[in-house]
Amino acid sequence: MDAIAADDNNRRDTPMDSIDMNEIVGRTDILFVCIDCLRYDVAWEEQQSNGTPVLNRYGTWRKCQAPGNFTYPSHQAMFAGFFPVDEGILNMKNREKLFFSEDIGMGRKAPKGAFTFQGSNWIEGLAREGYETYCIGGVSFFDKRTDVGKVLPSYFQHSYWNPSFGCKAKESAGNQVDFAVRKLRQISAEKHIMMYLNICALHYPNYFYLSGEKKDSREAHAAALRYVDAQLARLFAAFAARGETFVICCSDHGTCYGEDGAWYHGINHPMVNTVPYMHFFL
């Protein structure tokens, strides 16, 4: 069954039950995990088959519209507070908001439950609230090797990337999580932190997650997700050991593997524009 069409009961023009970020900011750590490229249909299927037991502990994927069709525009939107929008939301006033810039919006009035931040993005806003902010990059937009690759990491007080975190490294997610866990051990539990991980294991190339394969595919994409899920257990345990943590976990965009003749992303196609999203507490 096509997972994109399988759950039409998710369609609505009212937001999911929201949370109040004003009760979270300043009280808990905040972890943002973006599983770059993750398709909604694959995430949904793996959830149903328990291929992702770690993530399954924390809730059900929400079917959402991506804020962009490739990494750079999607992250610029998300870091400004515009996360994926629940499918079926037709009125922008009904979208759930976690963070809201005091410099934008109609009437400059924050939606109910949104934390109003100062600065060009909510990461800078959290730093102004006393958070220590960390970025552990994956795809090239976070590698700091080019001027473009320096833009997104510059929003954080501390940012890290090395080739073992990149798309060509089969163990990239494990390397990123190991690095994050080591960093967490060095930070006082008295200090609130915000950490972002850009996990690129599902991005091309991903064929090496299936033995003997030489071409990226939907099946390899799913295998990569199962690998990532297993790595997240250590990350979540490390944050839980520090205390309560609010987690945002989503994809920035999906990708195509030949549907309608389309390959990969940076184009508008249902497989690119539809993404999974969830948030939860550790």
Taking CA 6 as the corner, what is the angle to CA 259 and CA 218, rounded to the nearest 5 degrees? 35
pLDDT value, residue 262: 79
pLDDT value, residue 157: 97
pLDDT tens digits, one per residue of 32-46:
999 999 999 999 999
Average pLDDT over residues 223-243: 96
Q: Is 80 exceeded by the pLDDT of residue 103? A: no
pLDDT value, residue 107: 54
Average pLDDT over residues 18-25: 89
Q: Which domains does the chain have, with CATH numbers?
A: 17-281 (3.40.720.10)
Under the banding of pLDDT at 50, 70 and 90, the label for residue 230 is very high
Q: What is the mean pLDDT of the chain?
A: 90
Is 244 in contact with 236 (CB distance < 8 Å)? no
Under the banding of pLDDT at 50, 70 and 90, the label for residue 13 is very low
Under the banding of pLDDT at 50, 70 and 90, the label for residue 102 is confident
pLDDT value, residue 2: 45
pLDDT value, residue 227: 97
Under the banding of pLDDT at 50, 70 and 90, the label for residue 17 is low
Q: Is 70 exceeded by the pLDDT of residue 231? A: yes
3-state secondary structure the chain: CCHHHHCHHHCCCCCCCCCCHHHCCCCCEEEEEEECCCCHHHHHHHHHCCCCHHHHCCCCCEEEECCCCCHHHHHHHHHCCCCCEECCCCCHHHCCCCEEECCCCHHHCCCCCCEEECCCCHHHHHHHCCCEEEEECCCHHHCCCCHHHHHCHHHCCEEECCHHHCCCCCCHHHHHHHHHHHHHHHCCCCCCEEEEEEECCCCCCCHHHCCCCCCCCHHHHHHHHHHHHHHHHHHHHHHHHHCCEEEEEECCCCCEECHHHCEECCCCCHHHHEEEEEEEEC
Under the banding of pLDDT at 50, 70 and 90, the label for residue 8 is very low
Q: Is 50 exceeded by the pLDDT of residue 15? A: no
pTM: 0.91
pLDDT value, residue 9: 37
pLDDT tens digits, one per residue of 46-85:
999 999 999 999 999 999 999 999 999 999 999 999 999 9
Under the banding of pLDDT at 50, 70 and 90, the label for residue 3 is very low
Range of weakest confidence among 18-22, 27-31, 133-137: 18-22
